[in-house]
Amino acid sequence: MKQPIERDTVVIRFSGDSGDGMQMTGTLFTDTSAMIGNGVSTFPDYPAEIRAPQGTIAGVSGFQVRFGDRKINTPGDYCDTLVAMNPAALKANAKWLKKGATVVCDVDTFNDRGLDRAGFKTADPFAELDIADYNIIAAPITSMTKETLKEMPLDNKNVVKCKNMFALGICYYLSDMPLDHTIDYCRKKFNKTPDQAEANIMALRAGFNYTSNTHATANTYHVAPAKLPPGRYRTIGGNEATAWGFIAAAEKAGRPLFCGSYPITPATGILEELAKRKDLGVKTLQAEDEIAGICTAIGAAYTGSFAVTTTSGPGLALKSEAIGLAVMAELPLVIVDVQRGGPSTGLPTKTEQSDLMQALWGRNGECPVVVIAAGTPSDCFDYAFTAGKIAMEHMTPVVLLTDGFIANGSEAWKIPAMKDYPPIHPPILSSAPEGGYLPYKRDEERLARTWALPGTPGLEHRIGGLEKDFLKGSASHDPANHQKMVDIRAAKVKRVEEFIPEQTVIGASEGDLLVVGWGGTRGHLLSAVEALQAEGKSVSLSHFNYINPLPKNTARIFGKFKKIVVCELNLGQFANYLRMNFPEFDYLQCNKVEGQPFTVAELAEKFEKILSK
């Protein structure tokens, strides 16, 4: 047997019908890679149709994982290995193959019916796709799985379900990885159905042995563990990290956590994760609609809970009036918007960054809120925590923007210690002050009003959506009072800039080109910039997480570069926002609205063209 070829990074893409278990297969592979110490980054790619016809392009589900011997910032542009469980999966993903890549396909599905459903015009899909000279492993995955499990007391449906484990075994052999972690997972997952556990394990081993015994490929590869800072690591997804960040903020603030939400792709995972944590005092409510979800959260905030609500773009539109109520009442609330393609129902399972303007201004009246954005899956923990801290200490709603790419993706995460996170001090009054309680009297540092919990003697006050008296909180229609309240609410949000870090630059602090991005594009922009920096190009990156207010030193950074290009997955919303705030600079744009993240290659090409002009 040949020794595995040492590689610094490898990209594998698992694809098949929604029922083929590709998301689970990719997750198990990722977990094993992380357990042996690799850096990892993943990109689940779900079909937009819930029940697309089997074997069609519309029903293809994908999961891409990149693992390497260092920290991995993106799931990779193109794959070294493609697992295609049917012809449709092959056709949908052939464009993502590197030249000469390995293709593992279930040849049992490559019959006339399968080829026809996938839209192939000939009986040779590999020649039709011009990949016949690639390393094709045409394995009879379905029939081999059936043969392996023929003695197991399972019906045909449950036997066929194990074929993804056969494919996973093939990939473990190709990647020189152990089976132990997946075997342990199967035994824990199916501890009440041991026959199902054993069937999955048998299929896994069969796939591994099949590849070894048939010498299906000339070479295998090995990726060494990453040299990461010491600590305890695990893989974490963006939605999971967001939920945990909220739990951490509630703990630091000493406040119970409440989430009132309506399920919506791709944000539902946050609600699901929080619902698991009753042991930590988390309360969740799956409301009947988006409006009810945020209104229950506002009610919880009024009673003293750290309140959050989660949604995606269409749900944020429905929540807009209630966000205005939270702004008027000046209650702490975090609204998570996991952005997806739009407008209307749009592309429910695809990523986009097109809700920025809605987050900033999508409400009636002068209705300012703090807006921040997470940049990576693990970032979601830190910025969920930060959103909670700002909301509670400044008594204001905060919109936390993530997107489908980082919400569903995952990466290696060093588990932090809670002692390293700052305390959160909500301005809660425990008793009436001398002279009586004035609900809208503010502290000078943050311009925040106090948080009076219902039932506290002497702190009775009015609340609601009508304009408030500048101090008393009673309804007021006085023009001068309205001007003062509009001004102070805007000033309160602006004051947050004193409590956020200054903007940083990755690379030289001055030069020919500054790449600017925000939110979930961070990994791809960083990789493209680092590649050009390695070639000696004068290019730096400034990636924004704080959107409203912007960091105080933003203009100072921009003024040190000859050219600025703003990259985002929309038609230029952040670029236009920067033009409004800093019109003295010229902004080039790099935009993409395809429901897919940037590729590093297209970004690098764009930056090189700008530098050459």
Angstrom distance (rounded) from CA 596 to CA 368: 30
* Digit-coded pLDDT (tens) for 123-178: 999 999 999 999 999 999 999 999 999 999 999 999 999 999 999 999 999 999 99
Tell me what pLDDT residue 19 has: 86
Angstrom distance (rounded) from CA 125 to CA 147: 26
Angstrom distance (rounded) from CA 390 to CA 398: 7
User: Token digits for 58?
Assistant: 């519309």
User: Token digits for 187?
Assistant: 């035994």
| Pairing state between β 546-548 and 333-339 | unpaired
What average pLDDT score do residues 285-296 get? 98
* Digit-coded pLDDT (tens) for 411-464: 999 999 999 999 999 999 999 998 899 999 999 999 999 999 999 999 998 889
Residues 6+ apart with CB under 8 A from 384: 241, 242, 243, 244, 245, 246, 248, 249, 334, 336, 374, 400
Angstrom distance (rounded) from CA 573 to CA 71: 30
Tell me what pLDDT residue 22 has: 96
Angstrom distance (rounded) from CA 379 to CA 385: 10
The rounded percent of the chain whose pLDDT value lies above 70 is 99
Q: Which residue has the tokens 């967001």?
A: 242
The domain limits of the chain are: 5-223, 237-420, 511-612
Tell me what pLDDT residue 133 has: 93
Tell me what pLDDT residue 218 has: 66
* Digit-coded pLDDT (tens) for 4-61: 899 999 999 999 998 899 999 999 999 999 999 999 999 999 987 777 888 999 999 9
CB crowding 179-206: b at 16 or more within 10 Å, else e: bebbeebbeeebeeeeebbbbbbbbbbb
Nearest alpha-carbon partner for 182 in 195, 192, 172, 174: 172
| Pairing state between β 333-339 and 306-311 | parallel
Q: How confident is the model at residue 326 (pLDDT cuts 50, 70, 90)?
A: very high
Kindly report the CATH class assigned to 237-420.
alpha beta
Do 237-420 and 511-612 show the same overall fold? yes
Domain 511-612, second-level architecture: 3-Layer(aba) Sandwich (3.40)
CB 305 within 8 Å of CB 331: no
Tell me what pLDDT residue 613 has: 86
Tell me what pLDDT residue 50 has: 74
Tell me what pLDDT residue 75 has: 97
Residue 531 pLDDT exceeds 90:
yes
Return the number of other C-beta atoms located less than 10 Å from residue 599's C-beta: 18
Angstrom distance (rounded) from CA 591 to CA 441: 45
Return the number of other C-beta atoms located less than 10 Å from residue 449's C-beta: 26
Residues 6+ apart with CB under 8 A from 435: none
Nearest alpha-carbon partner for 140 in 60, 85, 89, 102: 85
Nearest alpha-carbon partner for 92 in 166, 177, 170, 20: 20
* Digit-coded pLDDT (tens) for 341-365: 999 999 999 999 999 999 999 999 9
> What does pLDDT average to over the chain?
96
Return the number of other C-beta atoms located less than 10 Å from residue 483's C-beta: 11
Tell me what pLDDT residue 219 has: 77
Domain 5-223, second-level architecture: 3-Layer(aba) Sandwich (3.40)
Angstrom distance (rounded) from CA 122 to CA 296: 57
* Digit-coded pLDDT (tens) for 228-255: 888 999 999 999 999 999 999 999 999 9
Residue 528 pLDDT exceeds 60:
yes
Q: How confident is the model at residue 479 (pLDDT cuts 50, 70, 90)?
A: very high
Helices in 20-98 by DSSP H: which ranges? Answer: 22-35, 87-93
Q: How confident is the model at residue 555 (pLDDT cuts 50, 70, 90)?
A: very high
Q: How confident is the model at residue 2 (pLDDT cuts 50, 70, 90)?
A: low
Residues 6+ apart with CB under 8 A from 327: 363, 367, 368, 369, 396, 397, 489
Angstrom distance (rounded) from CA 48 to CA 92: 14
